[in-house]
Amino acid sequence: MRTAVVHDWLNGMRGGEKVLEAILPLVPEPTIFTLFHRPGSVSAEIERHPIRASWLNRLPFARRGYRHYLPLFPAAVESFDLSGFDLVVSSSHCVAKGAIAPRGVPHLCYCHTPVRYAYEQFDLYFPPGRTRLRALKAAAIARLRRWDVATANRPDRYLANSSAVAARIAKHYGREAAVCPPPVDVDFFRPADPPEAREDFLLAVGALVPYKRFDVAIDAARALRRRLVLVGGGPERGRLAALAEGGRVELRSAVSREELRRLYRTCAAFMQPGEEDFGIAAVEALACGAPVVALGRGGVRDIVRPGENGVLAGEDGAAALADAVREADRAGFDYTRLRSTALPFRGERFAAAFRGALGEWLR
């Protein structure tokens, strides 16, 4: 039995790639199909499998400028020849779910989210006045949205990484999705023994892209007169560095897993200022005994229990996030209890739920 695993692109190890890494051992004889592949940019566990990149990967500037080819993404994913495969699994936050399975071959989609910038978050990615050719981009996104809706019935079953994403799938696709939270390595991300002393700095982690709203974290830290360590890389780095000038903000891009774990172990609190589809970094922080302060929207509502392991800001913006940090400072969390709330997201639970969704297709 052979499995075609379709993933949007492979050019870095972010949350979606961590999920892909966990999916591959759960399906028989996987071959990965992806729009773009930059060798060496993802883990050895992913790279050891056969990888077939689309024709987009051969176009000029595909290595760094792949986002500019967005209007071509649907045609590229539909061009994959999946004949000869007995099962199709898509890991989709953009167009992967639109891959065409051979007639009679089952297709399971693990949906990280319907395309963010095609629905609720267009203005975050293409803000008025800041993005050139915005009208042309709006037309391209509208075309992508029509294609996305029209291909919503290609998967036979959907899994969503959070309750929030399941609700988006129902709203935009008219499909039901079972919730299957992504796996988190809570065995690696754990408190030191003996525990390390907490320091008076705030921590934020993630790709530096618009919807993460790290500009809000910077403004909140400035209002609090607190040190902020921001870990991540991406297209927003230059803008965020300019915003951080004059403040106590450290931008770090090349951080090892061991150093990230040390930051989780020693920060006063972990901040998540934007609406996340799930929030793997928030669970990693909890697993290391750090409370989470987050905007109370999206997947974090499956993770944070207010007053028990964190604080949820009721409104968007720096003022509300700063108030939530102050509330967390006063809470006096039980740090052992913080870790226990992360344990349900361990890899074994993900594997059982994913295999259960495949069900009779593996027999």
Domains of the chain, residue spans: 3-183+346-362, 201-344
State residue 360's pLDDT score. Answer: 85
Residue 125 has what pLDDT? 64
Tokens describing residue 341 = 């709330």
* Average pLDDT, rounded, for the chain: 93
Residue 350 amino acid letter: F
Note whether 59 and 65 are within 8 A (CB). Answer: no
Alpha helical stretches, state H, 117-236: 122-125, 134-150, 163-173, 214-224
Residue that wins the pLDDT comparison between 198 and 129? 198
Q: Is the pLDDT assigned to residue 148 strictly greater than 70?
A: yes
* pLDDT of 166 strictly over 90: yes
Q: Residue 212: what pLDDT?
A: 94
pLDDT tens column, 92-112: 999 999 999 999 999 999 999
pLDDT band at 121 (very low <50, low <70, confident <90, very high): low
- The pLDDT tens digits for 28-63 are 999 999 999 999 999 999 999 999 999 999 999 888
Q: Do domains 3-183+346-362 and 201-344 have the same CATH topology?
A: yes
Contact 267, 289 (CB under 8 A): no
Beta strands at 227-231 and 249-252: parallel, antiparallel or unpaired: parallel
CB contact burial 7-35 (16+ within 10 A = b; e otherwise): bbbbbeebbbbbbbbbbbebbeebbbbbb
Give dist(CA 286, CA 276) in Å, integer: 16
Considering the chain, what percentage of its residues have pLDDT values greater than 90?
Answer: 82
CB contact at 8 A, 220 and 323:
no
Report CA torsion sign: 248, 254, 259, 260: positive
CATH topology of domain 201-344: Rossmann fold (3.40.50)
pTM as predicted: 0.91
What is the arithmetic mean of pLDDT over 159-187?
Answer: 97
Q: Which residues make beta-bridge pairs with 306?
A: 310
Q: Give me the CATH code for the 3-183+346-362 domain, please.
A: 3.40.50.2000
Nearest Cα to Cα of residue 154 among 17, 4, 343, 259:
4
Q: What is the CB-side half-sphere exposure of residue 291 using CA atoms within 13 A?
A: 25
